[in-house]
Structure 1
Amino acid sequence: MKSARLILRPIRLEDARSVQRLAGDREVAANAAGIPYPFEDGMAEAWISSLDERSHVFAICLTGSGEMIGAAGLVEAAKEHSRTAELSYWMGRPYWGRGFGTEAAQALVRYGFETLGLESIHANCFSRNPGSRRVLEKAGFRHIGHEEKALQHLGQAEDLERFTLMRPG
């Protein structure tokens, strides 16, 4: 999958070193649910190996160099006949604020609706993360709610903002 500045390709075991380096940054981990800190040896390999057929996870790479700068994916709902998925993404800190998250999210939305045939996509972000909220809004998501203390992450109760996007047409 390509966009103006990015290539999104299926994540593979060889990406584990880049995943650990980028996601292992405390600021990246603090802003993405599910990323542990510290990000220890073996965790990236275990995560990549755990992905199943419902997980459409991609390495986000720069078109010119092929350098991995983050990851994004759609995980389809486990319910039979459900045509929905959750969008998630993270970007290495050196690439924040440059529009790469929005570009990757827009590419995944197209993939979800055009390739996977989804009817809806949902996403969440921490309430304290306005950059992630902007990514979702620019990708066309509609804010549907706020949930206080929705989950524990790195020892802290986190409030979540919830978003949804329905198939166009």
Structure 2
Amino acid sequence: MTHVLPALSDIVIKTERLVMRPLAVADAQAFATAASDPRIGDVMDHIPTPCPAELVSAWAADAPDGITAGTDYSLVITDKAQNTLLGAANLGRMVALGVSGRQFELSYWLAPSHWGNGLATECATGLRDWAFETLKAGGLRAACAMTNKASTRVLEKTGFHFINTTAFDASGKLPARLRTNFRMDKPRWEALTQHSHLSTAS
């Protein structure tokens, strides 16, 4: 049976405090303002500092194509209560690995004013569950700078396991930074969610 992927207009990922939805051109200025903090550029190689709204508009214009193809989901993270933009998330770089199914790379960033209150873990967990439940992903990958201990803790709390450390340079700036790579396959996610459900029931 062929799995039907969600349409652009149907994509809304809700957690306790967050709503994640597709990036739109109307988000460009708020996205650019939040992403222009140098601390975002330090952890997200593809985001320049400052981040021009015109660049974000171009990303937003391309976003529907990736969603329609089922290969790249560019999302914004908003506050559920106030509908303000807090950051962005992505399930992208999709590869098909035969019997293992479709694999996505999970990434996210939050404006520094929202660091340290559990939102990153909430975002990563919601994105993880949506990938497995709705996209029927066979596995997920994630990575962060080796020096980014906060993101390492988030990925570990979300259930990812360490694979290796590699040199990575997307910006052309040398020396290349060391990146810690993580992975989660579907059986591991199923075991985690089953344990969570059993703990809640007890």
TM-score of the superposition, structure 1-length normalised? 0.92
Letter in 2 for 1:30: D
Contact 1:59/1:72 (<8 A) preserved: yes
Once structures 1 and 2 are overlaid, which stretch shifts more, 32-41 or 86-95? 32-41
Structure 1 counterpart of 2:14, one-letter code: K
Q: Does structure 1 retain, via aligned residues, the 8 Å contact 2:46–2:170?
A: no
- Give the number of the structure whose residues are more often strand, by fraction: 1
Give the whole-Å Cα distance in 1 for the aligned partners of 2:97 and 2:159.
26
Instruction: Determine the structure 1 residue equivalent to 2:116.
Output: 97
Which structure carries more helix by proportion? Answer: 2
Residue in structure 2 matching 1:59, options 67, 76, 80:
76
Measured on the aligned residues, the alpha-carbon RMSD in Å equals: 1.7
2:43 alignment counterpart: 31
Specify the alignment match of 2:60 in structure 1.
48
Aligned residue pairs: how many? Answer: 168
* % same residue: 30
After TM superposition, the score normalised by the length of structure 2 is 0.77
* Structure ranking higher on relative contact order (CA contacts 8 Å, 6+ apart): 1
Where does residue 168 of structure 2 map in the other structure? 150
Alignment of 1:63-74 (within 5 A): 63-74=80-91
Cα distance in 2 for partners of 1:74, 1:67 equals 21
What is the identity, as a one-letter code, of the residue corresponding to 1:4?
A: E
Residues 9-55 of structure 1, C-alpha deviations (whole Å, 9 max, x = no match): 22211111111001111111111121112312411111222322321
- Provide the C-alpha distance between the structure 1 equivalents of 2:105 and 2:21, rounded to a whole number of angstroms: 18
Alignment partner of 1:75: what SS? strand
Q: Distance in 2 between matches of 1:75 and 1:152?
A: 16
